Amino acid sequence: MSELVLGISAFYHDSAAALVSGGVPVAAAQEERFSRKRHDSSFPTQAVEYCLDEAGVSFADISAVAYYEDPRLKFRRVLATFAGAAPTAFPSFRDTLPSWVSGKGKRHTDQTVRRELQALDRGRVPQVLVRRHHESHAASAFFPSPYESAAVLCVDGVGEWATTTLWHGRGTDLKAVAELRFPHSLGMLYSAFTYFCGFKVDSGEYKLMGLAPYGKPRYADLIRDTLIDIKPDGTFRLDMRYFDYLRGQVMTGKGFEKLFKGPRRTPEGKLTEREFDLAASVQEVTEEVMLRLARTARDRTGESTLCLAGGVALNCVANGKIIDASIFDEVWVQPAAGDAGGALGAAYAVTMERGASRDHLGSGHDAMSGSLLGPAFDDDEIAAYLEANSIPHRRLDGGELVEQAAAALAESKIVGWFQGRMEFGPRALGARSILGDPRDPAMQSAMNLKIKFRESFRPFAPAVLAEDAKDYFDLRQESPYMLVVAQVAAAQQREVAESDATGLDLLRVQRSTIPAVTHVDSSARVQTVDGRSNPEYHRLLTAFKARTGCPVLVNTSFNVRGEPIVKSPHDAYTCFMRTDIDMLAIGSFLLDKSEQPVWSEESDWREEIPLD
């Protein structure tokens, strides 16, 4: 095995560990999947242990540990921010400073990482190196990409100082080209509207994106005129008088309320036309900035391919706009584009510095193995769990399991699909997924309310056979990681009669032959599935197509609202029994809900899982 580097992200949100051998990821996982705490920010102890076990190594086999950002540089930014916001920021400064200046504080995170690793008793801990936050993002975007050279754009909330960076990747070299700095941040702008619309920051941004098509961008000009000054090259400045994140722990205050004529929506409160329109407006502005930045990336690097990372790269609507604009011939988005992917990027940055190669380039594919880098459970482990808990099941060979699951799906049954290695990143990609029939107009509502227990407005994504994708979606390129939104193909759309429907009433309108995955603007967040990266999932889609003529399935993550995606057979069975999932296909085993014993728990699990 080539030189091994362990990457770690921790202590802010979405802690993770990743192990890179040469230029190839060996294992990667978020801590939340093990701890069952969504967006877990604690040290990724269990994720680290998984990575070591997956590779069959100890710390003695690892040449370095890479932490995904520079804590001392970040501390200087925190001090400068509080100083610049004085005196109104003093209460927040007083509350925050102790966590930075104590002997074991955030300023010495690299030392904390070493102590946490030593406590695992897995051998002598190697040197702990730090990499800057955006360098980690950029490395995660470029080095595993399928491109020999590319422009690399990283956009998020903030790392140490950087909020937006442009890089030029060539071979095994990655050079910084340009940078925008805090407090001027597109990620913070989007999070401010997430907060103002009553959703959680660093969690609910995808809800805001899903809400946008219900509204009209009637505040977009106000945002451009008042909140953000966008230059032709995509650089921008925020008017900080309207934002409170410099002074305290909230994103917006009285200035925001005055500008948008009312207070922040109460979390879980009724959604109104104002929230729909605010979401549509900030989404439009975000797309405009991203398009301008993409054109600048093309001009500054001369490259015909683009790599994206950072939290804003999870805005798959904006990604689709960049692709549709034909600024680049191809766009590749790191599937773990947020902070979890920083662990992978930090490891990549160090291993490339130490002479690793990018041998995957000859294959024409990326190095991410379909992002299936997490734990797997073989049939013996699954059988042991099922039998120890007296769970009724049938063991089938692979072909029969696929056929029976496809038959159930064709009958509008909902199937939990637990196969192979768990996905790394926020998307379920056919390893830990809940699946349904996209042709069923009742499926979207049923899955939201009876399976996910979440808001009715949230759309579901389609998984489609890669070879049939263009018959169903206006895609200019493959989308294996569900990070691109495209329009449903005209041939699949249905003529919609004129209507006065607005807001959530738009859900009742059937717009295509696959209504369960067609959003109210006739768009869809598409995953293209080929037979190379996930053959079992491809076989299921193929079997469903043979029965129905439709090569598309509804694919949503295997979890309920507020819970991380399931990791283990225990997690999967628990979710199966807590919800109205009809069947569970787990390894070579098929479980029918009607054959299961009555499910009971000592307490109401809904009260134990915090809302997302």
Q: Which amino acid is at 464?
A: V
Q: Are 163 and 144 in contact (CB under 8 A)?
A: no
Query: How far, in Å, CA of 529 to CA of 523, rounded?
Result: 18
Query: How far, in Å, CA of 407 to CA of 47, rounded?
Result: 36
Q: Are 290 and 155 in contact (CB under 8 A)?
A: yes
Q: Nearest CA to 551 among 504, 517, 501?
A: 517
Q: How many of the other CB atoms lie within 10 Å of CB of 486?
A: 25
Sign of the alpha-carbon dihedral angle for 443, 449, 453, 459: positive
Helix (H) or strand (E) holding 527: strand 523-529
Instruction: Determine whether 595 is exposed, middle or buried from the number of CB atoms within 10 Å of its CB (0-12, 13-18, 19+).
Output: exposed
3-class SS letters over 20-55: EECCEEEEEEECHHHHCCCCCCCCCHHHHHHHHHHH
Query: How far, in Å, CA of 558 to CA of 571, rounded?
Result: 9
> Taking the CA of residue 81 as centre, how many other CA atoms within 13 Å lie in the half-sphere pointing to its CB?
24
Enzyme catalytic residues: 13
Query: How far, in Å, CA of 414 to CA of 576, rounded?
Result: 10
Alpha helices, H only, 357-396: 379-388
Query: How far, in Å, CA of 314 to CA of 335, rounded?
Result: 8
3-class SS letters over 154-183: EECCCCCCEEEEEEEEECCEEEEEEEEECC
Q: Are 518 and 524 in contact (CB under 8 A)?
A: yes
Q: Are 171 and 358 in contact (CB under 8 A)?
A: yes
Residues with Cβ within 8 Å of residue 148, at least 6 apart in sequence: 170, 171, 361
Q: Are 455 and 517 in contact (CB under 8 A)?
A: no
